[in-house]
């Protein structure tokens, strides 16, 4: 019998990307889909060109309805998880909970899912009765897919990173705000007379405009265009941002590494104005001196999404930018070279779509394991 799968938060940004991928892969053929809503209960179920779901949206807060499900997949966000998950579990529901939100990631009875990397742990977890499966933080998942071969062969002593994270990682209203910021500035730039001025005059005017008190920045708090924000998420007490803290904690949890085997991962997370692709620059200390050709081979043989990009200007510009990756499952890794610091120090740069492999795809693939 087909499993009853409830979808919560499917209309949001990550949820919509998830549904699009499920339609592409015809996943809906293998499940009985039940759609929920927190705000439009009773309205018609979604309709897509090649798929039609009869019936009406159910109440996402109705515990009795949720209890009838075999699997719940939620992209509704933290508040929903915090409110519903404990009540649902306390009610005795023992179905599978698949979640995009961060809240349950570090719980001891939940697993962070990224199957090209921890397929073995996922299979074991299902066998041993784990019922809560959470998608990893996007930067963590994208880093691990890119460096999968080095993790698998246990060649990494530590990683230091700088990230260049897209507006989409903060949420859809942030993307809109980024575009509003562009529009605000464009009122000046689109005037014919603007480019007749000297460059320093233009630069001064542009700076004044983005510093104007009316500049749209309610969400980002400061301008993101022509700027960057070297802080993502909340403060930790040790000087890290929470986003930076997640890199080491989640990486080691995905690998199921205990304290004595931990890989050290630390650096700085930075918001930039790309739309939906996160980029990351790494300095990696290897456990031994390995030939660069061998490293490229190890990286590219690890999973079918990673692509080693030759370390030259043309390939980098064509294949290693947010724009060349957006909307795809590609995980290019390039700028690979040994640093002058020493033969065990490797430099690398990777890009990945934050909504696909960074959010929706690991959840979709987890669902497939369960059905
Ligand atoms: N926390 C990430 C970001 C997104 O702000 O870019 C999601 O995992």
Q: Check pocket membership of 250 for ligand 1, CB cut-off 6 A.
A: no
Taking only the tens place, the pLDDT of each residue in 282-336 is 999 999 999 999 999 999 999 999 999 999 999 999 999 999 999 999 999 999 9
For the four alpha carbons of 251, 252, 255 and 256, in that order, the dihedral sign comes to negative
- Closest CA relative to residue 150, chosen from 290, 323, 322: 290
Strand order in the sheet with 58-59: 58-59, 31-37, 3-8, 71-74, 96-99, 132-135, 110-113
Pocket test for ligand 1, best of 137, 224, 279, 351 (most atoms within 8 A of CB): 137
Phi first, then psi, for residue 76 (nearest 5°) are -80, -25
Pick the residue whose CA is nearest to atom 1 on ligand 1. Answer: 169
Q: Check pocket membership of 169 for ligand 1, CB cut-off 6 A.
A: yes
Residue pair 247/139 in contact by the 8 Å Cβ criterion? yes
Q: Check pocket membership of 165 for ligand 1, CB cut-off 6 A.
A: yes
Where residue 52 falls among pLDDT bands split at 50, 70, 90? confident
Residue with tokens 């959840």: 363
Instruction: Supply the pLDDT for residue 49.
Output: 82
Where residue 158 falls among pLDDT bands split at 50, 70, 90? very high
Residue 218 CB neighbour total at 10 angstroms:
9
- pLDDT tops 90 at residue 227: yes
Phi first, then psi, for residue 126 (nearest 5°) are -60, -45
- Tokens at 143, concatenated: 């880093």
- pLDDT tops 90 at residue 51: no
Residue 279 CB neighbour total at 10 angstroms:
24
CA distance 348 to 147: 9
Q: CA–CA distance from 187 to each of 193, 210, 216, 225, 281 (Å)?
A: 12, 12, 13, 15, 35
Instruction: Supply the pLDDT for residue 258.
Output: 82
Phi first, then psi, for residue 309 (nearest 5°) are -100, 125
- pLDDT tops 90 at residue 261: no
Instruction: Supply the pLDDT for residue 229.
Output: 98
Residue 34, strand partner residues: 6
CA distance 284 to 301: 19
CA of 167 to the centre of ligand 1 (A): 9
Pocket test for ligand 1, best of 18, 279, 354, 355 (most atoms within 8 A of CB): 354
Pick the residue whose CA is nearest to atom 6 on ligand 1. Answer: 169
Pocket test for ligand 1, best of 165, 244, 363 (most atoms within 8 A of CB): 165
What's the whole-number mean pLDDT along residues 246-257? 96
CA of 234 to the centre of ligand 1 (A): 12
Interstrand relation of 96-99 and 110-113 (parallel, antiparallel or unpaired) = unpaired
Dihedral, 304, 305, 310, 312 alpha carbons, nearest 10? 170
Atom of ligand 1 nearest to the CA of 271: 6
What's the whole-number mean pLDDT along residues 267-284? 98
CA distance 335 to 324: 15
Where residue 57 falls among pLDDT bands split at 50, 70, 90? very high
Point out the catalytic residue in the list 75, 138, 269, 277: 138
Q: CA–CA distance from 39 to each of 8, 57, 58 (Å)?
A: 11, 10, 10
Residue 235: half-sphere exposure toward Cβ, Cα within 13 Å: 3
- Closest CA relative to residue 145, chosen from 347, 316, 370, 353: 353
The share of the chain scoring above pLDDT 70, in percent, equals 100
Catalytic (active site) residue 138:
yes
Pick the residue whose CA is nearest to atom 4 on ligand 1. Answer: 169
What's the whole-number mean pLDDT along residues 207-211? 98
Instruction: Supply the pLDDT for residue 192.
Output: 94
Taking only the tens place, the pLDDT of each residue in 80-121 is 999 999 999 999 999 999 999 999 999 999 999 999 999 999
Atom of ligand 1 nearest to the CA of 141: 8
Residue pair 132/97 in contact by the 8 Å Cβ criterion? yes
Residue 367, strand partner residues: none
CA of 145 to the centre of ligand 1 (A): 16
Q: What is the mean pLDDT of the chain?
A: 97
Dihedral, 105, 110, 112, 114 alpha carbons, nearest 10? -160
Taking only the tens place, the pLDDT of each residue in 324-335 is 999 999 999 999
Taking only the tens place, the pLDDT of each residue in 7-27 is 999 999 999 999 999 999 999
- pLDDT tops 80 at residue 259: no
Instruction: Supply the pLDDT for residue 250.
Output: 97
What's the whole-number mean pLDDT along residues 214-226? 98
CA distance 232 to 268: 9
What's the whole-number mean pLDDT along residues 34-45? 96
Catalytic (active site) residue 277:
no
What's the whole-number mean pLDDT along residues 55-79? 98
CA distance 237 to 73: 33
């Amino acid at each position: 019998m087909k499993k009853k799968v409830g979808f919560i938060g499917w209309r949001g940004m990550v949820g919509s990307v998830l549904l699009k991928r499920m339609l592409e892969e015809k996943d809906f053929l293998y499940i009985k889909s039940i759609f929920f809503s927190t705000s439009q209960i009773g309205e018609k179920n979604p309709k897509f060109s090649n798929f039609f779901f009869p019936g009406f949206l159910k109440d996402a807060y109705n515990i009795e309805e949720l209890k009838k499900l075999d699997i719940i997949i939620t992209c509704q966000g933290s508040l929903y998880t915090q409110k519903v998950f404990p009540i649902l579990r306390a009610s005795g529901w023992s179905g599978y909970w698949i979640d995009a939100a961060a809240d349950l990631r570090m719980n001891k009875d939940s697993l962070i899912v990224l199957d090209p990397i921890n397929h073995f742990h996922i299979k074991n977890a299902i066998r041993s009765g784990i019922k809560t499966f959470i998608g990893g933080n996007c930067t963590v998942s994208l880093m691990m897919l890119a460096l999968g071969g080095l993790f698998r062969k246990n060649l990494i002593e530590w990683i230091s990173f700088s990230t260049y994270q897209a507006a989409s990682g903060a949420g859809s209203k942030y993307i809109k705000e980024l575009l509003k910021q562009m529009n605000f500035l464009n009122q000046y730039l689109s005037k014919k007379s603007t480019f007749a001025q000297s460059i320093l005059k233009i630069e001064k005017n542009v700076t004044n405009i983005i510093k104007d008190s009316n500049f749209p920045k309610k969400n980002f708090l400061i301008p993101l265009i022509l700027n960057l924000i070297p802080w993502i998420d909340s403060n930790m007490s040790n000087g890290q941002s929470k986003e930076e803290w997640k890199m080491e904690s989640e990486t080691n949890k995905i690998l199921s590494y205990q304290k004595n085997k931990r890989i050290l991962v630390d650096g700085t997370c930075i918001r930039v104005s790309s739309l939906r692709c996160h980029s990351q620059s790494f300095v990696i200390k290897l456990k031994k001196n390995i030939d660069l050709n061998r490293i490229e081979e190890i990286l590219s043989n690890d999973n079918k999404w990673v692509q080693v990009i030759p370390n030259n200007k043309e390939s980098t510009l064509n294949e290693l930018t947010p724009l060349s990756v957006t909307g795809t499952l590609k995980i290019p890794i390039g700028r690979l070279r040994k640093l002058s610091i020493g033969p065990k120090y490797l430099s690398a740069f990777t890009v990945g779509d934050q909504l696909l492999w960074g959010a929706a795809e690991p959840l979709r693939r987890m669902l497939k394991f369960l059905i």
